[in-house]
Structure 1
Amino acid sequence: MCANVLVAEDDEKQAELIRLYLVHEGHDVTVVHDGRTVMDEAVRRPPDLIVLDWMLPGLDGLEVCRRIRAEGDLPVLMLTARSTEDDVLLGLDLGADDYMTKPYRPRELVARVRTLLRRTRRSDDGGHQARTALEVGPLTVDPAGHEVSSHGRPVRCTPGEFRILSAMAAAPGRVFTRAQLLELTTDYDRVTTERAVDVHIMNLRKKIEVSPRDPALLLTVHGIGYKLTSGRRGR
């Protein structure tokens, strides 16, 4: 699974180590050391995935992630020495798809990259299955095209958000626990907890609801989790 990977890490030794491991995996790797160069390189040669350090000079990794996410759903693996749950949730809130705290094992990083690429490409080809678009009230989710629209407007989703929304749209009215939704977005034990699901749901509500503070589609089932409805019946 060869991919074009952009590595943004200001520690040159660490960046070179990441590059060597990813090249050994078969990827084409470009390394940059500051935030502004990340943005320039992403425009010049759009990557398939970005490995993004939080503490970059110029623009920090959070601002870079925010800008990248505003432009599309390019997978982002965030690296940081900050390991509190609030830090993890902040990174996810800004659109990072995965999160690794330093120090980490390079082989685990390679595995995380492999997983993100596999999920992204599986979404792009519809999971190797011919599937029609899923419609729930004003919401349409197209697994094959990796497209979402709400109330007639296109919606940009991160890969993690898309996986959650696709699963829920395939079973409208079903209540999903946080643990079940978390399984859709992670493969490894880490600092991230089920609170990360709440962040994804909050971001999805901002994108698909007319009134995110009073959601009609993506509803909370208190004490259990969440469900997706058509918005036609009272809650």
Structure 2
Amino acid sequence: MRLLLVEDDDHVAAALSAVLARHGFQVVHARNGEEALRALLPAEKEPFGVILLDLGLPDQDGYEVCGKIRKRTTTPVIMVTARADVRSRIHGLNLGADDYVTKPYDTGELLARIHAVARRTTGTEDTAPTPVAALRLGSVAIELPTRRVSVDGTEVQLTRKEFDLLALLAQRPGVVFRREQIISEVWRTSWEGTGRTLEVHVASLRSKLRLPALIETVRGVGYRLVAPSA
């Protein structure tokens, strides 16, 4: 798999590239946002399987670069950031990032996340159950075949995984889904480290839909969808 590593620190990039190469990745190193965007241009090249994007770039803000990348390609983006607060992570996911890793990170964790996003985006993109029907839950309308969501008639833009998570919970309103079950069905992995990503996606859904009570946290168990009033 070709992997685009966007990292301005040459020492960090060299060490990480060596580890990735030992695990079968062909690494292309970009030192800044402009180099990263140029690396995506050659149409004759084999497409990248994953992009590792450091947010602390010298020429452009990493969030800005992520937005530009997402306009050009659907290649999975994993943000690498020292910004550990939930708001920063939600912002990254809203821009189209598929996952994030907080510095300092364990190399084994990073490799697991790379393989996880690569598995999730191989083949069809729809990973949640997708019956040929629409769901109506109070003011929320979910069109499963077209992957569209609206609240009070206004369409809400969701990322791929945000939609899959909402669709899963919405098909059985009031039923508690265990965290492990959600991770297995939406992320197609049993790796425990994905739990933090689940929390961020839930927070992002609550924010985007402007219905904070829509997804209820069942402490120590998981989540359930509480249908809002019409």
Structure 1 residue 122 displacement after superposition? 5.6
Correspondent of 2:27 among 26, 29, 33: 29
Counterpart CA distance in 1 for 2:157 and 2:49 is 17
Match of 1:165 in 2: 166
Which amino acid in 1 is paired with 2:200?
Answer: A
Using the alignment, how far apart are the partners of 1:125 and 1:173 within structure 2? 20
CA offsets 1:102-150 (integer angstroms, 9 cap, x no match): 22222221111001111122644869x9x754532553334xxxx6235
Partner SS, residue 59 of structure 1: coil
**Once the 2 structures are TM-superposed, how far is the Cα of residue 34 of structure 1 from its aligned partner?**
0.3
Q: What runs of 5+ residues in structure 2 fail to find an aligned partner?
A: none
Give deviations 1:46-89, integer Å, cap 9, x for gaps: 42221000101212211111223345643111112233344333
SS at match of 2:147: strand
Percent of aligned positions that are identical = 28
> In 2, are the aligned partners of 1:174 and 1:227 still within 8 Å (CA)?
yes
Question: Is the contact made by 1:7 and 1:50 (CA closer than 8 Å) also made in structure 2?
Answer: yes
CA contact (8 A) 2:126 2:164 kept: no
Q: What is residue 201 of structure 1 aligned with on the other side?
A: 205
Work out the number of aligned pairs and report it: 213
Query: For residues 161-211 of structure 1, what are the alpha-carbon distances to aligned partners after superposition, in whole Å with 9 as ceiling and x for unaligned?
Result: 243134235x25345569578734584448947651344314763xxxxxx
Which structure 1 residue ranges, 5 or more long, are not aligned? 206-212
User: C-alpha separation between the residues in 1 aligned to 2:216 and 2:105?
Assistant: 36
TM-score normalised over the length of structure 2: 0.70
CA offset at residue 223 of structure 1? Answer: 6.2
Q: Which residue of 1 aligns with 2:144?
A: 141
Matches within 5 A, 1:168-187: 168=169, 171-175=171-175, 179=179, 183=183, 184=186, 187=191
Letter in 1 for 2:121: T
Give yes or no for contact 2:30–2:36 (8 Å, CA) kept in 1: yes
Q: Tell me which residue corresponds to 2:39.
A: 41
Aligned partners of 1:4 and 1:49 also within 8 Å = yes
Q: What is the match of residue 10 of structure 1?
A: 8
TM-score (norm 1): 0.69
> What is the alpha-carbon distance in structure 1 between the residues aligned to residue 125 and residue 216 of structure 2?
34
Whether the aligned pair in 2 keeps the contact of 1:136 and 1:172 (CA below 8 Å) is no
Q: State the AA in 2 paired with 1:17.
A: A
The answer to whether the 8 A contact 1:140-1:148 is kept is yes
Which residue is equivalent to 1:108?
109
Give the AA of the match of 2:60.
L
3-state secondary structure, aligned to 2:56:
coil
Other-structure match for 2:76:
75
Q: For the Cα contact (< 8 Å) 2:6–2:30, is it kept in 1?
A: yes
Q: Structure 2 CA distance, aligned partners of 1:42 and 1:155?
A: 28
Change (3 A) 1:182 1:126: closer
Relative distance call for 1:101 and 1:27 in structure 2 (3 A) is same
**Distance in 2 (alpha carbons) for counterparts of 1:105 and 1:8:** 18
Aligned counterparts of 2:196 and 2:217: Cα–Cα separation in 1: 20
Contact 2:3 2:27 in 1 (8 A): yes
CA distance in 2, matches of 1:154, 1:18: 41
| Cα distance, 1:17 vs structure 2 | 2.2
What is the match of residue 208 of structure 1? none
| Partner residue, 2:94 | 93
